[in-house]
Structure 1
Amino acid sequence: MWLSEILDRHCQQRGDAPAVVEGDRSLTWLELRGAAHSIAAYLSEHGVRHGDRVAVYSRNRLEVIASYFALAHLGAPFVPVNHAMSPTEFADAAERMEIRHVMGEQRPVEKLGLAEDRTTVFDSEEFQKLLVAGRTPPPLAATMDDPLAVLLTSGTTGAPKGVLQTSGALRQMTLSWLAQARVDDSVRLLNLNSLSHGSITATLHYVAAGATLHVMREFQPRAVLRQITERGITHIWMVPQMLRFVMMAVGKDTKVPNTLREIMFGASPMSPELLRDARHAFGCGFRNIYGMTEAGGTFCTWLSDASTEKDGSIPLESSGRSVPGIRVEIHDEQNRPLPVGEIGEVCVLAAGRMSHYVGNAAETSRTIIDDWVRTGDLGWMDASGYIHLKDRKKDVIKRGGQNVFPAEIENAIAGFDGVADAAVIGVPDDVWGEVPLAFVVVEEGATFSSDALLVFLHGRLSSYKLPKEARTVSEIPRNPAGKILRRVLAEQVGPAL
């Protein structure tokens, strides 16, 4: 219902303005509503009913957005799936999420081997005609209390869980974000993050305000730069690793002509060096986004621009402070709030939080306690309300009774010349129980010495935080949200160490 209201408002007020742009293709608000209505009519005729969960299995493209609006009209919760998910992984998720129908691109959908009546392929001639068919949809079936989507978590520690979010919850989170970010219909947002996980909620915040959404099927740094310079992009959202690749394409000490107001980033910290170089290249504001799918999306942020840079009023190493309408505290194991400066678990109280994990009541009860979402992130709050993260609770390395936070070591490694990316995990040790092991991706053409890195870290980290070893690898495994897959690194190490 919330998405239908969004479309109706924009069609009423600015129907001929661009809503979604993908390369040379685009849909105005009137065209987007027409496409969504036609898709809803088609899906209804093919057996999709109110309450049926429908997977959308695709790269970022305008058909994805149109399909989300169509499914919302039917009251059929959409389940975004990353196009890189293997058929085996998809089969497991589909069974647990009780998927009734699959929409998406031809290649990933065909690999599933499903019956034809259970699939809808974007690339088919029949579907492409739907985008301009102008068909009348069935009556609006959704309410604010109905499930809108089942969003798969990032799965950094195991199989992804399904987060159920209602239309009403999304509306609450949208209003909170718009009060914070002051978004209007002059915004042109280039979202480089996948529309297949929790980032879709933040994307829909901007769509609700009338922003034009730009999407790309593939992340290509030079193509991103062309979009920025040629399409009048005002806001761009990516993970820091993407920005690092873009900066490699920009070149050292180069300034890029642009209309950017904000570069938004999240999922992992941005090094001071990368922030400095990107600020020089683009000259815009930078916004840190800290959120969690279970908490309803973004709940903390900071915006650093020319004015705040001069007075140093924002601690850039922090993850920001809470947005309007959302309460964030640091709690102990008994869910009691901790004083300023003490390390505990980041907990969130938000009207837009998830209802529950699909088919996982035990995990739901561990995550939501007295309406507070326990994020699993460890950190502390300063006197001004800024959250300073230490690490994921599950990732903390226990070395001889001392807590070692991988993110702290990774941030230190990032300051060493020649390092393009880094990750740290804990590995067994006969003496200390567990010790840090570092993995490093070396910049192309750079000279790198593991011994030199360890010497560099000696002056920056306490002795018990120093990695036992630094291994070079071709890449750090990350999920679509840009988060490090430490379990994959642990599997690569195996029992040999």
Structure 2
Amino acid sequence: MWLSDILDRHCQQRGDAHAVVEGDRALTWLELRSAAHSLAAHLDETGIRHGDRVAVYSRNRIEVVVSYFALAHLGAPFVPVNHAMSPTEFADAAERMEIRHVLGERRPVERLGLPEDRTTVFDTEEFQKVLVAGRAAPPLAASLDDPLAVLLTSGTTGRPKGVLQTAGALRQMSLSWLAQARVDDSVRLLNLNSLSHGSITATLHYVAAGATLHVMREFQPRAVLRQITERGITHVWAVPQMLRFLMMAVGKDATVPNGLREIMFGASPMSPELLRDARRAFGCAFRNVYGMTEAGGTFCTWLSGKTEEEDGGVPLESSGRSVPGIRVEIHDEENRPLPPGEVGEVCVLAVGRMSHYVGDAEETRRTVVDGWVRTGDLGWMDAHGYVHLKDRKKDVIKRGGQNVFPAEVENAVAAFDGVADVAVIGVPDDVWGEVPLAFVVVEEGAAFSSDALLAFLHGRLSSYKLPKEARTVAEIPRNAAGKILRRVLAEQAGPAR
């Protein structure tokens, strides 16, 4: 099985090299395999079996990586969960994904109120003893055709959907990416993105090549800069908003001593100004990463030079072009390919795409048509195969690399006393790229406070989904079918205050 093969190969060839590093903690490849095998034995004794779905609910830390390898050995699909997800959101997802057990940090796990026999907490003495017990793993239970992970995403309703990916699909996507990016075991990757969503697939591509993975529990710009300088980091994986924070910490016209080869970014576009300033400060190449969890991960990329003179004609305003083994086209509504220059939906044909959405056959049929994944993104392709995104087909708000769906926020706001109607849109923000802005119609005679509403939403929504502001309006503009005219609201909104 793919993840077990990764461990065995690197233990055989470079077992004493570091596999994963978190601050002053580190595991070599031999130690990582030993910890994963010991945890697999422990979970097997608790009753976790082949096919059981197990959530991993934590910030980035070594134990998360160990858990993924242990669960993969058992053939128990791991379900990464963002540590900011509220207990209410988790309960809904857990029921629909049929999650049997939860591993994670004490604080988020204890908020769930689950029985002790359904949880395993990282930050306990008992768990840490398990990792160093040196136990033999049960017989390998997984195959390449087995589900490896259920990756939570969101649909138009805002409720997370479960993207089921097999081990074989991940292997195929890894081989495609490694052929493109030419990664080897000299890479030291600092992943600043969460290991709880689709970025885990990109991370595992580098792990497969023998790269050393560096993780941090919290994103702290100055600490990140120290890591880059002191730990010999060669690659950084971030979103543009994180780079903006890093540039604020660097300061105007300053440079950062480093050995970086690439800074990779994705989830949202990077402004030309930020790219220019970041290239000056770090003096390395930048790689745009365009992907989708349903498509198996990254399917388009470009790599800049260290300076504008070294870009080689790459259109940096594009999202890149397809990586080896993956076919990307622009299709019309009937799923027919369009010629260069015509705007349509970005569609992807990849062996590594998802198997299906868990428990949602109808949405699977809408998303995967004749084997093509319809991304929901509108764009066009130039004569050299570069994809240029035009607009989002759906109304997703991208706040700091996290997707926020208006319908989900609207449902939460509507539950507050005194709200007669509500609409949520994304508005530009210098720090986060976009932030949610709520428009509220108040019931006649109701006592309403924007501050009280925002306090009400805390704990009901993840922190990144909270509106920056709630504005009261007389009515919500809608079309004849009753759908919200978000374009009209955007024209009225102006910049978020």
Q: Secondary structure at the match of 1:145?
A: coil
- Find the aligned partners of 1:71 and 1:154 in 2 and give their Cα distance: 24
- Find the aligned partners of 2:147 and 2:428 in 1 and give their Cα distance: 42
Equivalent in the alignment of 2:288: 288
Judging changes above 3 Å, is the alpha-carbon distance between structure 1 residues 51 and 425 closer, same or farther for their aligned structure 2 residues? Answer: closer
Equivalent in the alignment of 2:151: 151
Shift of residue 425, structure 1, vs aligned partner: 9.3
Q: Secondary structure at the match of 2:160?
A: coil
Q: Contact between 2:346 and 2:377, CA under 8 Å: does it hold in 1?
A: yes
Shift of residue 306, structure 1, vs aligned partner: 3.4
Equivalent in the alignment of 2:482: none
Q: Contact between 1:424 and 1:438, CA under 8 Å: does it hold in 2?
A: no
- Find the aligned partners of 2:328 and 2:472 in 1 and give their Cα distance: 37
What are the Cα deviations for residues 467-490 of structure 1, in whole angstroms up to 9, with x where unaligned?
xxxxxxx9xx9xxxx9x96x9579
Q: Contact between 1:321 and 1:385, CA under 8 Å: does it hold in 2?
A: yes
What are the Cα deviations for residues 232-254 of structure 1, in whole angstroms up to 9, with x where unaligned?
00000000000000000000000
Equivalent in the alignment of 1:447: none
Judging changes above 3 Å, is the alpha-carbon distance between structure 1 residues 108 and 332 closer, same or farther for their aligned structure 2 residues? Answer: same
Equivalent in the alignment of 2:327: 327
Shift of residue 309, structure 1, vs aligned partner: 3.7
Equivalent in the alignment of 2:449: none
Q: Secondary structure at the match of 2:6?
A: helix
- Find the aligned partners of 2:473 and 2:95 in 1 and give their Cα distance: 30
The one-letter code sitting in structure 1 at the alignment partner of 2:259 is T
Q: Contact between 2:161 and 2:358, CA under 8 Å: does it hold in 1?
A: yes
Structure 1 residue runs of 4 or more that deviate by more than 3 Å after TM superposition: 154-157, 306-312, 423-426, 435-443, 487-497
Shift of residue 87, structure 1, vs aligned partner: 0.4
Judging changes above 3 Å, is the alpha-carbon distance between structure 1 residues 390 and 492 closer, same or farther for their aligned structure 2 residues? Answer: farther
What are the Cα deviations for residues 406-426 of structure 1, in whole angstroms up to 9, with x where unaligned?
99xx9xxxxxxxxxxxx9999
Equivalent in the alignment of 2:87: 87
Judging changes above 3 Å, is the alpha-carbon distance between structure 1 residues 234 and 160 closer, same or farther for their aligned structure 2 residues? Answer: same
What are the Cα deviations for residues 36-80 of structure 1, in whole angstroms up to 9, with x where unaligned?
000000000001000000000000000000000000000000000
Give the fraction of aligned pairs with identical amino acids, expressed as a percent: 80
The one-letter code sitting in structure 2 at the alignment partner of 1:332 is D
Equivalent in the alignment of 2:222: 222
- Find the aligned partners of 1:436 and 1:154 in 2 and give their Cα distance: 16
Indicate whether 1:439 and 2:427 are aligned: yes
- Find the aligned partners of 2:285 and 2:16 in 1 and give their Cα distance: 30
5+ long unaligned stretches in structure 2? 408-422, 432-453, 477-497
Shift of residue 395, structure 1, vs aligned partner: 2.8
Equivalent in the alignment of 1:26: 26
- Find the aligned partners of 1:488 and 1:86 in 2 and give their Cα distance: 16
Equivalent in the alignment of 1:402: none
- Find the aligned partners of 1:493 and 1:85 in 2 and give their Cα distance: 27
- Find the aligned partners of 2:253 and 2:261 in 1 and give their Cα distance: 20
Equivalent in the alignment of 1:381: 381
Q: Contact between 2:305 and 2:312, CA under 8 Å: does it hold in 1?
A: no
Q: Secondary structure at the match of 1:174?
A: helix
Computed over aligned residues only, the root mean square deviation of the Cα atoms, in angstroms, reads 2.7
Judging changes above 3 Å, is the alpha-carbon distance between structure 1 residues 306 and 242 closer, same or farther for their aligned structure 2 residues? Answer: closer
What are the Cα deviations for residues 103-131 of structure 1, in whole angstroms up to 9, with x where unaligned?
00001101111111111000111110112
Q: How do 1:124-143 and structure 2 match up within 5 A?
A: 124-143=124-143
Q: How many residues align?
A: 429
What are the Cα deviations for residues 212-265 of structure 1, in whole angstroms up to 9, with x where unaligned?
000000000000001000000000000000000000000000011000000000
Equivalent in the alignment of 1:413: none
What are the Cα deviations for residues 96-154 of structure 1, in whole angstroms up to 9, with x where unaligned?
00000000000110111111111100011111011211001110000000000000015
What are the Cα deviations for residues 286-308 of structure 1, in whole angstroms up to 9, with x where unaligned?
00000000000000000001377
Shift of residue 18, structure 1, vs aligned partner: 0.1
Q: Contact between 1:425 and 1:489, CA under 8 Å: does it hold in 2?
A: no
Equivalent in the alignment of 1:105: 105
Judging changes above 3 Å, is the alpha-carbon distance between structure 1 residues 195 and 334 closer, same or farther for their aligned structure 2 residues? Answer: same
- Find the aligned partners of 2:125 and 2:32 in 1 and give their Cα distance: 18
- Find the aligned partners of 1:298 and 1:4 in 2 and give their Cα distance: 23
Indicate whether 1:198 and 2:198 are aligned: yes
- Find the aligned partners of 1:14 and 1:394 in 2 and give their Cα distance: 46
Q: TM-score, normalised by structure 2?
A: 0.82
The one-letter code sitting in structure 2 at the alignment partner of 1:390 is K
The one-letter code sitting in structure 2 at the alignment partner of 1:254 is A
Q: Secondary structure at the match of 2:265?
A: strand
- Find the aligned partners of 1:488 and 1:115 in 2 and give their Cα distance: 33
Q: How do 1:270-281 and structure 2 match up within 5 A?
A: 270-281=270-281
5+ long unaligned stretches in structure 1? 397-405, 411-422, 427-434, 444-473
Q: TM-score, normalised by structure 1?
A: 0.82
Indicate whether 1:40 and 2:28 are aligned: no
Equivalent in the alignment of 1:236: 236
Q: Contact between 1:97 and 1:162, CA under 8 Å: does it hold in 2?
A: yes
Equivalent in the alignment of 1:313: 313
- Find the aligned partners of 2:60 and 2:232 in 1 and give their Cα distance: 20
